[in-house]
Structure 1
């Protein structure tokens, strides 16, 4: 405990770090306050928030920190920006113009950021129209504005809200600590944790048949164990040794040292779960459009996220999407070319195609256990719900929310520790250094979107 307070004191002594932490907290406070401001012309008492807390909409509501169900000005959150970032990244693989921009350094990145912002506006406007039509009932709209005027103003407000949140994220990254967009998503998820814990605690204590306080303690211990397991998956790397040739320039010697390429066990991050979850809601959509098919046994099982068929298909999709996303984001050819330019080689492996094949083989081998572990983490919430854990609390036992929380916290703590070590203070841990999500060279030399 003494070391903990000493570390906090050291953090407060570093002026730059202190200012960055305060800036981060203030920006996040602005975001949380804005998430409770309802769209102009909407009656909060008439909103049916329960519909927006279920299924895929519940996932979006969790990412938006509850703003989605409250019809807030930040209802769409940063998800349109994340979607635009992914689209631009995929364009960098498929379209030569974007591939060229990704290789042009700072000027190319600036142009790509501009394209991402323009695409964010288009995606947000389209989603705003869909949100207004599907999530806000006519009786919740003030008759003073009228339906047409309300729709026009709400689209502008929702689009401006998303752009403002995006601006907050960029300011946190520049003036604060950690990745701003990731922190905004994390704060939105964490904001729902206290109420979920209180609800679960109350249900266990009041219901004598549910096991009482002892079962609640077991659930907390299980949650801690799942978090530790998730950290192992997020942190897991396979180090590939790279030897650099010696070069004599004047009186100095360069190179001749051995370094390592850290290949992530889970290089795809949380994206496979997001893609798989989107596909798993197709059966529910089909059943809503074709009521006669709703009684089909297969559709019923696929629509029930606690059924064995749903979890089996969900796990298989995650494994397949993990391989797919790893293949399009990690480029062994680019890594081999970069090593060759810098005079590096893998000991025992010839440069060129042999190096490409070696790296590709290593990635294929470590992706299999990584994808299986990711699938296990993704289906744990369903298992927790089957064990009669409150559905709101069960979401924190795995899935998208837990992986995002673990990754963002590790990245932020790593930045804090870097500031401490740079000023010759002890780090946050007694042994070793905190490792964030190691950046991996991708197909275009960039890193995947940080979520």
Structure 2
């Protein structure tokens, strides 16, 4: 018999354990954000942040509440950037792609190892740029001190990477996405207060409608799925329509296969591009000029638009390789009705994935541009902090967490029912 609803545990032990592990690891992250790097003059750093002196802004946690860079100030950024670079090499190198496809678990471990090595290199490089930019704020400046502080910040980045992997393995959702999610919701209250403190009721209604449209678009992207019918040779030989319908299976293709990762990549790459460009212009080329605000915003938003489209297509083709799928379908005896197995299936899937990722990327980029235009119209630049990038990460991670908890609860219910038989 089926258990009454009141006897079914709302949170099984598996969910409680994963939630507790996730909360504990998040607590460690929050502690690390309040551990200042040693030997820094707080007032001097505060003056630098208020001036126009170049300071690389890697993520929202670069400076903590005391205006001093923290142990975890780079967050998960170096790991994400290293993953982008490694995946780019895999995408453009046939040998690496073949190695990843044929070696299976061994290839995944090797790629993960190389990604960690590159994360260390990127963390140390970004740490050196930061420490060199803050050299006037250090009580003691020499190369030994600089190396020690770089090692301090690099160790913090690797601890964050370890925590992220632990969350992914033992926690409730993907660790990298969750850490970016936490960065957003930590700074959202201040951004909301800064945005909504001096607006009238009509502007508030316009902002509310804008967010409703954007959030609806995000949910549509995350939940829209196209089902491709699959058949087997055995099913084709069936003469009965009833038997044939029972043999049908489907291959799901999401409109946004890449999920939140294109937005994550863009949100981390844009500040680096901006910071590097400013550093190159002011410190290397020694060019001093001021662009009109409208032109600066147009360049920034255009770059964001292009990066979202490119990363959506790029990450989709990495995540779901049409060649691998067509080969696996052929090996298992499945085929798409009306499409020959082999090369034609590969071309069909490649065209389908490109079209889906193109549409998804365009919708993401349009939503981003739409919100930015509303922010410019209302003269509320702080809306950028709670833009479509933040929305899709918040909505995407929330959906992932809810689905993971639901699957664990259903699995626990099914196990209880099986044990009662």
**What does residue 16 of structure 1 align with?**
14
- On the 8 A contact 2:78/2:122 being kept in 1, the answer is yes
CA–CA separation in structure 1 for the residues paired with 2:316 and 2:51: 32
Cα deviation for residue 92 of structure 1 reads 2.9
Separation in structure 1 between the aligned mates of residue 52 and residue 218 of structure 2, nearest angstrom: 25
Post-superposition shift, 1:316?
4.8
Distance change in 2, residues 1:223/1:265 (3 Å): same
1:158 shift after superposition:
0.7
Mapped to 2, the partners of 1:97 and 1:343 lie a distance apart of 28
Structure 1 residue 326: Cα displacement = 4.1
Specify the alignment match of 2:419 in structure 1. none
SS of 2:75's equivalent?
coil
SS of equivalent to 2:413: coil
The 5 A counterparts of 1:106-121 are 106-121=105-120
- 1:35-114 alignment to 2 at 5 Å? 35-48=33-46, 50=49, 60-62=58-60, 70-93=68-91, 94=93, 96-97=95-96, 99-114=98-113
Report the equivalent of 1:374: 364
**Structure 1 segment 12-411 matched on structure 2, within 5 A:** 12=11, 14-48=12-46, 50=49, 60-62=58-60, 70-93=68-91, 94=93, 96-97=95-96, 99-134=98-133, 136-138=134-136, 140-143=137-140, 146-201=141-196, 203-204=197-198, 210-211=199-200, 215-216=203-204, 218-246=206-234, 257-269=247-259, 270-271=261-262, 274=266, 277=270, 281=274, 287-288=281-282, 290=285, 294=289, 300=292, 304-305=296-297, 307=298, 311-312=301-302, 314-316=304-306, 318-320=308-310, 322-327=312-317, 329-388=319-378, 390-398=380-388, 400-411=389-400
User: In 1, Cα distance between the equivalents of 2:385 and 2:38?
Assistant: 32
Q: Is the 8 A contact 1:61 1:67 kept in 2?
A: no
Moved more, 21-30 or 227-236: 227-236
In 2: Cα distance, 1:56 partner to 1:232 partner: 38
Q: Deviations over 1:9-37 (max 9, x none)?
A: 9444x122112112211210110121121
- Post-superposition offset of 1:271: 2.8
Contact 2:120 2:154 (C-alpha < 8 Å) held by counterparts: yes
Deviations, residues 213-267 of structure 1 (Å, cap 9, x unaligned)? 56335424532432221121233332221123449xxxxx9x9732222223233
Greater relative CO, 1 or 2 (CA 8 Å, sep 6+): 2
TM-superposed CA distance for 1:369, in Å, is 2.4
Moved more, 24-33 or 42-51: 42-51
Distance 1:279 1:268, change over 3 A: farther
Change in CA separation of 1:122 and 1:421 when aligned onto 2, cut-off 3 Å = same
TM-score normalised according to structure 2 size: 0.80
- How many pairs align? 394
Q: Cα distance 1:264–1:54, how it changes in 2: closer, same or farther (>3 A)?
A: farther
Tell me, in whole angstroms, the C-alpha distance in 1 between the residues paired with 2:279 and 2:372: 20
In structure 2, distance between residues paired with 1:53 and 1:227: 35
Find the aligned partners of 2:10 and 2:191 in 1 and give their Cα distance.
Answer: 31
Q: Deviations along 1:102-141, whole A, 9 cap, x unmatched?
A: 532333322222222122111211111112112x241x21
Change (3 A) 1:89 1:44: same
| Deviation for aligned residue 1:414 | 0.9
Which residue in the other structure is 2:410 paired with? 421
Distance in 1 of aligned mates of 2:287 and 2:229 = 59
8 Å contact from structure 1 (residues 68, 76) kept in 2: no
TM-score, normalised on structure 1? 0.75
Residue 434 of structure 1 corresponds to none
Alignment gaps of 5+ in structure 1 = 1-5, 205-209, 248-252, 426-451
In the TM superposition, what whole-angstrom CA distance separates every residue of 1:201-222 from its partner, at most 9, and x where no partner exists?
A: 3x22xxxxx42x5633542453
Once residues 287 and 53 of structure 2 are traced to their aligned partners in structure 1, the CA distance between those partners, rounded to angstroms, is 23
CA RMSD of aligned residues (A): 3.6
